[in-house]
Amino acid sequence: MAAITDLSGRVAVVTGGTRGVGAGITRALLAAGAEVVTCARRPPDEPVEAAGRSAEFHPVDLRDPEAVHAFFERVRAAYGRLDTLVNNAGGTPFRLLGEGGAARHARVVELNLLAPLNTSLAAYELMRGQESGGSITMIGSVSGTRPSPGSAAYGAAKAGLENLARSMAVEWAPAIRVNTVVLGMVRTELSPLHYGDEAGIEAVGRTVPLGRLAEPSDVGDACVFLASDRAAYISGAGLLVHGGGERPAFLDAATANHRPS
């Protein structure tokens, strides 16, 4: 039986794989034995490493289809194959719908939905000719399934991304598996911007049933699983990596109203 962590000889691309969640995914794939190539607009401050090996980096604007195509051609020339693509790059600033203007919101959709479409199409050209096919993993968000005030365009893009993955899984089967890892809150170097100091981060973590925010390594482990032979019959799925989700606010309100006076 295949070991879940054995990706030796495999080649993986992680978009936005240089920091935060992306770096966690990159490290997990490296630790599992894969050769990993990352891309982003800016290079990392230091190489992303694990198990004594480093990921290769290329600067790419993922919103530029020609640049994306050229990047995957470089991967083909260097490695001769591509086994796994993790579409991690994305994000959004806090911006209410009425304050940003249509063009700014469209840029958020472009980065979080159209860029993964571009990269997936380029990866498909490499993978479909391989006897072993390949796998594509989208990094989704719970924002795609619940209201997301302040990040509505992001939530809409993530909802579209999961639907896109399910359609790809049907169109590109059986050679290529396509899945989505649906994230809740993850602790990264940007967490203080959203949740405040350490006490604030811990307080937010206590609202999660498992009692903490996810670590980037938790996301990485899920991506390694989906890339591995243990997930050979998993495609078109959404894997929830959110620690049990969010405790419904009405439960706290009900508890408060029924406390003894």
Q: Which long-range contacts (CB under 8 A, 24 or more apart) does 35-39 make?
A: 35/10, 35/11, 35/79, 36/12, 37/11, 37/12, 37/13, 37/75, 37/78, 37/79, 38/13, 38/14, 39/13, 39/14, 39/15, 39/71, 39/89
* Distance in angstroms (rounded) separating the CA atoms of residues 32 and 39: 20
Closest of 87, 74, 80 to residue 17, by C-alpha: 87
Instruction: For residue 114, count other CB atoms closer than 10 A to its CB.
Output: 18
Phi-psi region of 259 (alpha: psi -120 to 50; beta: other; left: phi over 0): beta
Q: Which of 124, 154, 195, 233 is catalytic?
A: 154
Closest of 25, 8, 5 to residue 217, by C-alpha: 25
Angle between helices 20-31 and 216-227 (to 10 degrees): 50
The secondary structure element, H or E, covering residue 40 is: strand 35-40
* Distance in angstroms (rounded) separating the CA atoms of residues 105 and 99: 10
Place of tokens 């598996």: 177
124 a catalytic residue = no
Q: Which residues are catalytic?
A: 154
